[in-house]
Amino acid sequence: MRFLKLIISGLVFTVIYPAWSFTLNNTVAATFPGNDVPVNVAAHTCNNLGVSNQDLLEMVGDAVNNYWNQAPNSRLRLRKGSLTSVSAAFQTEPGCTSTAGGSCTPNPNLVVSGGILISCNTDTGSPANFSSGVMAVTIPNNIQDRNINGSLILLNDKVDNSFKNKSHDEQVAILAHEIGHGLGLGHSPVEDSLMYYASIPTRRSLGWDDLDGLAYLYPTGQPFSGCGSITLNHDDDESTGQGPGMFAFTMMLGIGLMLGLRRLKTSGLWR
Amino acid sequence: MQQFSLMHIQCLLIFFLAFTQVVLCPAQAVETPASPPSLLTLQSWSLGAGGKTDFINTLQVDRQGSKNSFDPELTLLGGIHFNAPWVFPFIEAGSTIPGKGRDPNITRFSWFANTGVQGRFDLGAPKALGVKTGVGMSMTTISSQGGTQTLQNGNQTDSFPMPSGTTITRNVIAVFGLNYDLLNHWRFAADYHLFNPFNDRNRAWSSLFSVNYLFDFNHSKVAAEPNKTKNYLIPSEF
């Protein structure tokens, strides 16, 4: 008995109380209403980033799959989009027409109609997008009520940008961080979170704050999602006819088999 | 998703059926040698405490890039254990303690409710080994009272809004576990919860190591029950 008391006491006193923190980048906790959010890359040439648009698009694939799509308790499924033709304004104009009081008034010329759009930007307008050392700016610039319809990520494409000097993995992490802003998350005060305000070369996956922030904004709702539909995950649109219906059928088949075997056993026909 | 779908489900089911129909039978026979139990009888209930680690090896926990391995949260749990033909069904539920830490404005805790079956292997009373499998729901509650945090933003600081309200996430989980009865009424359990079992994109594991105390439901009733199966011979005198 003393041994057991020691074990229980040890369990109680050695457990850690992890708790986490995250912030938002808008006051209404706006989110994308759907589960499937594409991340597109503007098709115009980036002159100073050191990577091509196609390279950027491939990095977007890594960013969504290695970071945000890993969250076990989020309904969101980000996907690599495509190279998208946009107006020249995305390449030069500021993301905000005003930043008075720290609040951005989105530039109406750069409104993103759907999903998240990444565009390199040479920052020739006013107010400036990028102060010294800033690699990117993200604005959910198409919000209606509490729905984000579109978010814009502007990558610093000026000659002196520091993005081009980062390793491939760090560039992927930077894109993932900006995509997090595009989803509605703000910065985190802790270093082990992707949403920490500074880039860290050893970033490899989400941190607790990121996971909790994403789960807060985009929680899973298994097994019932919406009225009358049953789902185990949100990848059913890409499945090959083996979605929740097939799962339910297979489970019923299994239960039927069990009951059948039980009946055979009780009747003595099968031992 | 395509690689872990119907075929895997069927394999799991076949394994499950084989497990419940064949492997569990010897243990059942040990515990009820005289007569088969009724369809479903209450056997015991339990209370326990342990440490639960969520989403093992999924999240970065330091600047160096290490991932989370074993950082348990105190978890309280309870269960009801049944006796049925061939298997021992169970219902269990547990919760971590609502905690506030790095940010006192955000409260987070997770809770779960599981059901399934287990097999018991008698290792010489009171020692016994249990193997269990089942399904359940895991939920996480995240809540905050709002407000703002002033954080670095580029070369300046800005006030970032805190969430205001509560969100509950719900995940269907598959449950696997081993437990060991070392002493009378005391059970050590190692359980694993598999999130998104049919989705290799965000599949994740949580572990729960716990110590449980079992209370018999019908200990006294069994003792008081008259032996219905014994054949009493009453001498007839004439």
Look up the CATH number of the domain holding residue B73. 2.40.160.20
Residue A177 in contact with residue B60, Cβ under 8 Å? no
Domain for residue B147, yes or no? no
Q: Does B153 touch chain A (CB under 8 A)?
A: yes
Q: Which pTM was predicted?
A: 0.79
**pLDDT by residue (tens digit) across B110-120?**
999 999 999 98
The pLDDT value given to residue A216: 95
Q: What is the ipTM of this complex?
A: 0.77
Domain for residue B24, yes or no? no
Task: Please provide the average confidence, as pLDDT, over all residues in chain B.
Answer: 79
Interface contact flag, B5 A190, Cβ < 8 Å: no
> How confident is residue B21, by pLDDT bands cut at 50, 70 and 90?
very low
* The pLDDT of residue B31 is above 90: no
Beta bridge partners of A80: A39
Q: Which residue has the tokens 């965000």?
A: B202
Residue A186 in contact with residue A24, Cβ under 8 Å? yes
Q: Under CATH, domain A22-241 is a member of which superfamily?
A: Collagenase (Catalytic Domain) (3.40.390.10)
Q: What are phi and psi of A69, to 5 degrees?
A: -75, -5
Which tokens in the block code for residue A52? 């091509």
Which tokens in the block code for residue B121? 């292997």
CA B166 to chain centre: 25
Which tokens in the block code for residue A148? 């984000």
Interface contact flag, A257 B58, Cβ < 8 Å: no
Beta bridge partners of B145: B164
**pLDDT by residue (tens digit) across A207-266?**
999 999 999 999 999 886 543 344 444 444 333 333 444 455 445 555 555 565 555 555
What is the three-class DSSP state of A60? helix
Interface contact flag, B59 A73, Cβ < 8 Å: no
The pLDDT value given to residue B54: 93
Q: Does B72 touch chain A (CB under 8 A)?
A: yes
Residue B121 in contact with residue B88, Cβ under 8 Å? no
- Residue ranges of the domains in chain A? 1-19+254-271, 22-241
The pLDDT value given to residue A268: 54
| Minimum-distance CB partner of B6 among A18, A186, A246 | A246
Strands annotated E in B69-227: 73-83, 88-96, 106-122, 128-145, 148-153, 156-161, 164-183, 186-195, 204-216
In 3D, which of A17, A189, A213, A215 has the Cα closest to residue B100? A17
- Residue B62's domain comprises 46-139+169-233
The average pLDDT across B130-135 equals 94
Interface contact flag, A21 B106, Cβ < 8 Å: yes
Q: Which residue ranges of chain A lie beneath pLDDT 50?
A: 6, 8-19, 226-246, 249-250, 269-271
Cβ neighbours of B106 in A, within 8 Å = 19-22, 212
**pLDDT by residue (tens digit) across B151-201?**
999 888 999 999 999 999 999 999 999 999 988 899 999 999 999 988 888
What is the three-class DSSP state of A55? helix
Domain for residue B116, yes or no? yes
Give how far B235 is from chain A: nearest CA, Å. 37
Domain for residue B164, yes or no? no
